[in-house]
Each structure stands twice: as C-alpha cells, then as structure tokens.
Amino acid sequence: MSDRQFVATDTIDGVWPFLQSIDWRDPWLALLLTFHIAVTMTALMTRNHANFQILLFLVLLLLVYFSESINEVAATNWMVFSRQQYFDSKGLFISIVFSVPILMNCMIMVASWLYQSSQLMTSLKRAQLRQQAKNRLTTTPTTDASNGTSNISSRTEKKND
C-alpha cells in the first residue's frame, strides 16, 4: 500500500477540501452518484403516489440508519471495489457522500408532502366557504314583526351556471 491511498484526518479542514481529495473516477462512486440521481428523480416523479413515496421514504431512512454498519463492512472490504480507503472509523466519508444526499431526498419528500397538505387544506376551506355562502343564500331568517320571533323561509335562487 502506498501513502497516496490514505488521507490524514488532520489535513481535512472543511467539506470542500475533503470532497476535492476524493478520486471521483472510481467506478463505484459513479454508481453511487447514479443511485442518488435515480432516487431524486424517483422522489420527484412519484410525488402524487403517496403509498410508494412512504415506502421510498422508509427505505431511505433505513439506509441512513444502517450507514454505520455499511461503513464498517466497506472499511474491511474496500480493496474489492475501491482504489482508495475512504471509510474512516468516524464515518465522515459515508456521512457526506452517502447519508447527506439521502437525507436531502427525504427533506424534498417532506417538503412536497407539506406543500400538498397546504394545498389540500386551502381547497377544503374554499369549498367550506362556498358551501356556507350557498346555505346563506338558500335559507335566510326573517323576523315576524308581530311577536319578534324569527322564522326560516326558503328562497329559491337562480343558478348562473
């Protein structure tokens, strides 16, 4: 093994220098990038399919949950699939390159769900207001002048539809 395969942790002084130290020509990193793009496209294209999105969301969260175990397995077997040893004991590499993009996809899905919920609540409130206005037009209370009681009289309305 040569010293080029290892990056000392004390030389990393930020995320950007760390990302620059990665050999992005490694085939498995290209596959990982393709995976992240495919997951993002799937999350965006299935935003109207709630059951599938819930399943995707849970699978992604499970991947993040097990990223420490994935890191340990990858650290012991890195020579099988990688040119360099990226998998440190603190999990910096797998956190930045694997978990952060997955969590960003989960945030995109949650934001989409919140937007859809607000749109649904807005349309529901508009429908309620229309129904209340329609009910006010069809039944209006009138006051009987002789005894001061109110009676409900039905008035037919002409529809403009």
Contact 121, 76 (CB under 8 A): no
- The total number of residues shown for the chain amounts to 161
**CB of 55 within 8 A of CB of 101?**
no
**pLDDT category, 102, cuts 50, 70, 90?**
very high
Report d(CA 101, CA 122) in Å as an integer.
32
pLDDT tens figures, 116-137: 999 999 999 999 999 999 999 9
Q: So what's the pLDDT on residue 120?
A: 96
Residue 141 gets which letter from DSSP? Answer: E
Mean per-residue pLDDT of the chain: 84
User: 21 falls in which pLDDT band (50, 70, 90)?
Assistant: confident
Question: Confidence band (pLDDT; 50, 70, 90) for 10?
Answer: low
- The residue type at 158: K
CB atoms within 10 A of CB 70: 16
pTM of the full predicted structure?
0.73
Domain ranges of the chain: 9-135
The predicted pLDDT at position 2 comes to 46
Query: What pLDDT band is residue 1 in, cutting at 50, 70 and 90?
Result: very low
Residue 92 has a pLDDT of 87
Task: Collect all residues with Cβ–Cβ distance below 8 Å to 55 and sequence separation of at least 6.
Answer: none
- Residues 6 or more apart whose CB falls under 8 angstroms from that of 139 comprise 152, 153, 154, 155
Asked if 94 and 71 count as a contact pair (C-beta separation under 8 A), the reply is yes
